[in-house]
């Protein structure tokens, strides 16, 4: 992880906006058997520079902490190092605001950032 991200945090994200993000492999839930909701915690973000290979395009990304909660039951899972790849049809211009929630999550595939595997998810902002 790099230095603290200096790009200002985005304002509120509109409900219904599509979102694509990755988390370190094995830290997120398997979502095809239950309904999970993701919430951004708003903790300080660090930056990761993408190199145009693997998961990331050649640009700066905010690494943030998120919480996965099972809508049915079970304890929430806190995950550091989540990277939001797309918000709507474009890469976000800064960290996602605290309290932003996404549902209708689906797990896609694994991809790499450097030598580390990440799990890819798609969802919709609630």
Instruction: Give the pLDDT confidence of 77-103 residue by residue, as tens digits.
Output: 899 999 999 999 888 878 899 999 999
Q: What is the pTM of this model?
A: 0.85
Query: What count of other Cβ atoms lies within 10 Å of the Cβ of residue 68?
Result: 21
Distance in angstroms between the alpha carbons of the first and the last residue of the chain: 29
Q: What is the pLDDT of residue 33?
A: 60
- 74 close to 37: Cβ distance less than 8 angstroms: no
Whether pLDDT at 73 is above 90: no
pLDDT-above-70 percentage for the chain? 86
C-alpha 42/C-alpha 81 separation (Å) is: 12
**CA 37 from chain center: how many Å?**
12
Q: Which two tokens stand for residue 115?
A: 């030598």
Which DSSP symbol is given to 96?
P
Query: What count of other Cβ atoms lies within 10 Å of the Cβ of residue 10?
Result: 16
> For the chain, which residues make up each domain, given as ranges?
18-125
C-alpha 84/C-alpha 121 separation (Å) is: 10
């Amino acid at each position: 992880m790099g230095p603290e991200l200096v790009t200002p945090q985005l304002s509120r994200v509109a409900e219904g906006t599509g979102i694509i993000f990755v988390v370190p492999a094995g830290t997120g839930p398997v979502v095809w058997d239950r309904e999970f909701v993701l919430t951004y915690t708003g903790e300080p973000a660090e930056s990761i520079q993408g190199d145009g290979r693997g998961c990331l395009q050649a640009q700066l990304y905010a690494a943030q902490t998120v919480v996965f909660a099972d809508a049915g039951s079970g304890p929430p899972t806190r995950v550091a190092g989540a990277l939001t790849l797309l918000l709507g049809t474009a890469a976000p211009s800064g960290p996602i605001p605290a309290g932003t929630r996404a549902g209708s999550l689906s797990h896609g595939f694994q991809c790499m950032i450097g030598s580390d595997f990440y799990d890819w998810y798609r969802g919709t902002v609630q």
